[in-house]
Amino acid sequence: MKDIQSKVIKAFADRYSAEPSVIAKAPGRINLIGEHTDYNLGLVLPAAIDRYMLFALRANHTDTCRIHALDINESVEIKLDNLEKGDQLWANYLRGVLLQFKERDISLDGFDCVFSSTIPIGSGLSSSAALDCGFIKGVSALHQSSLSNWDIVTISNQSNNNYLNVQSGILDQFSSVFGKKDQCMMMDCKTRDYQYHSLDLGAYCLVLINTNVKHENVTSGYNDRPSECKEVVRLLRVYDESVESLRDIDLVLLDKYKDHLSQTLYNRTRFIIEENERVRSFVSAMEDKDYIRMGTLLLESHKGLQELYEVSCSELDLLVELAMKEANVLGSRMMGGGFGGCTLNLMRRDEVDEVVRRVSNAYKESTGINSVMYQVNLEDGLSIL
């Protein structure tokens, strides 16, 4: 943490000949279980992790925001009276956030900013939410704005939905903002009620293995799923007006009206119903320290994401298959939006190196791709340092 903080402060001073007045930290996240349920107002079980994005900011008393992405050595100048999209995707995330400030009548002045990250890009650890939330927190602190944590979550989510046209829910932002050290959080995305749960894995640990692929259909494929879910709601509301989201459908109701749905829409809905129940079961197993049950639920989640929700890919499926051949792995699943990124694996702590070596070698032999392993710890969420 100190290394990246020193790096960002030095880069800021070198670039702008001044010390930053605000430093904001936003972590990445893992999601233990409850995938694609957030935009269906379901249940999720995420946690913030010890991979961060750090932002250094200082007012420059102009109408321009000068922002430098240190890791990729790219810069942008954004005029506060012109928030039209540009060519750099990362900068468009920030423009969308600034537009949300403007739409809330929060007055902003120009500032200088440098940011850097230890979150692997494209790995499914939610670097984009950390980018949004850390930037919002830093800009808010710089302008002494009184945004709440939920305001930050909402600003980021609405920017994604409305400016970037990414139809995501609030899982990623919530995780980055509300995380606590050594704890995961079960949240009901319909009510926004949440509870913290200590994560004691005994002789086991959570290991991420990155496929190092990200297929081009991720954006369209990801946006297709919320559209399909909305279509289910539209069709079933004809028969039951209480249905406002897939959260309001159970298996009895689904089977009652399944003839009015295509097989694809039936499968999408069944997955969400079953995944919500898996979140409840996982929390119960976690409290009972039933690690075998936890592993079984992870694998069931992956099968549902693969076969019913269809957001996996061959590389993710292969990593799960290879992991499950290992006696010291209790469960494995794809994590995140899908079509690439990481698998989440529950395995014996003292066997991690050997298990990952075998899995990675077999994966490389089959695909020609080098996978990457991350061991992460659960950490506190968004903060001003």
Q: At what angle do helices 263-287 and 291-307 cross, to 10 degrees?
A: 170
With beta carbons less than 8 A apart as the criterion, state whether 164 and 93 touch.
yes
> Is 172 noted as a catalytic residue in this protein?
yes
Helix boundaries (H) for the chain: 2-16, 89-103, 127-142, 149-158, 171-178, 218-237, 251-256, 263-287, 291-307, 314-324, 352-367
| Neighbouring C-beta atoms of residue 384, cutoff 10 Å | 14
Give the strand order in the sheet containing 43-44.
43-44, 183-188, 194-198
Other CB atoms within 10 A of residue 106 CB: 17
Q: How many CA atoms lie within 13 A of 138 on its CB side?
A: 32
Distance of CA 242 to the CA centre of its chain: 30
What tokens does 314 get?
Answer: 């061959």
Give the residue among 140, 41, 50 at the shortest CA–CA distance from 375.
50
Is-contact 331 33, C-beta < 8 A?
no
SS3 43: strand
Kindly name the residue from 132, 172, 248, 259 that is annotated as catalytic: 172
Contact 128, 172 (CB under 8 A): yes
Using alpha carbons, select from 231, 312, 302 the residue that is nearest to residue 266: 231
The string over 322-360, giving b where at least 16 C-beta atoms fall within 10 Å of a residue's C-beta and e elsewhere, is: bbbebebbbbbbbbbbbbbbbbbbbbbeebbeebbeebb
Cβ–Cβ under 8 Å, residues 347 and 328: yes
Looking at the annotation, which residues are catalytic?
172
